[in-house]
Chains A and B, each alone.
Chain A
Amino acid sequence: DIQMTQSPSSLSASVGDRVTITCRASQGISTYLNWYQQKPGKAPRLLIFASSSLEFGVPSRFSGSGSGTDFTLTINSLQPEDFATYYCQQSYGVPRTFGQGTRVEIK
């Protein structure tokens, strides 16, 4: 199985900050990497697919990059509604594993 490791597991940031979350795959997965946002009590929401493609309706302050084993989610100018937990997920093979999540908290 492909293991996905996110870092950090949590971070504190202020409104307006630039935030970067990384995700590493245990083997190469090309660009078969998705990012999701989840708020408490809600279902996850797709933000980025295919490593760097922005899902329809997602603000342009979200961006993704990477290929192979190393990936990054960047949030430019963090907004109050962005405080949530973020997960990466590989769709290269089954099981379609998730990272353990990164909680973005208000500083």
Chain B
Amino acid sequence: EVQLVESGGGLIQPGGSLRLSCAASGFSVSNNYMSWVRQAPGQGLEWVSVIYTSGDTYYVDSVKGRFTVSRDNSQNTLYLQMNSLRAEDTAVYYCARDQHRYASGTYQLDYWGQGTLVTVSS
């Protein structure tokens, strides 16, 4: 069974750092694109970052230079290192498998974790 479990969220002061983890089971994170998506309180979904199977990484402009996505293949875990946190980074952060379907050639977020809440406040 495919499962994603996030952890690492919490209350952090502006300017601080936090590392989120996403433990995967039932599949290999190294063989899949993996994304982070966030949702501010009462707001819509915002795509944050993706790591490709090649190790290439991409970010939404608002987090470039502050957030870093990585993975530990031995632990089958995805990470999001968040530095220089701002109040506007307050959100529930979801990790999701960004699966490639060969028949259609497309990518879609087919499995999601339960989310972890990050609150940036003094």
B27 at the interface (CB under 8 A from A): no
Instruction: List residues of A (64-107) whose CB comes within 8 Å of B's CBs.
Output: 85, 87, 89, 91, 94-101
Chain B residues contacting A44 (CB-CB under 8 Å) are 37, 45, 94, 109, 112
Q: Is A22 in contact with chain B by the CB < 8 A criterion? A: no
- Could you give, for residues 37-71 of chain B, a 1 whenever the CB lies within 8 Å of some chain A CB and a 0 otherwise? 10000001111001000000011110000000000
B114 at the interface (CB under 8 A from A): yes
Chain A contact-residue range equals 20 to 34
Q: Which residues of B contact A95 (CB under 8 A)?
A: 47, 58-61
Asked if A101 and B106 sit within 8 Å, CB to CB, the answer is no
A-B contact count (CB 8 A): 72
Are A94 and B50 touching (Cβ within 8 A)?
Answer: yes
Interface size on B, residues (CB 8 A): 25
User: Which residues of chain B have C-beta atoms less than 8 A from A49's C-beta?
Assistant: 101, 104, 106, 108, 110
Q: Cβ of A31 and Cβ of B106 under 8 Å apart?
A: yes
**Cβ distance B98 to chain A, nearest Cβ, rounded Å:** 8
Which residue numbers of B lie inside 8 Å of A, CB to CB?
35, 37, 44-47, 50, 58-61, 94, 98, 101, 104-110, 112-115
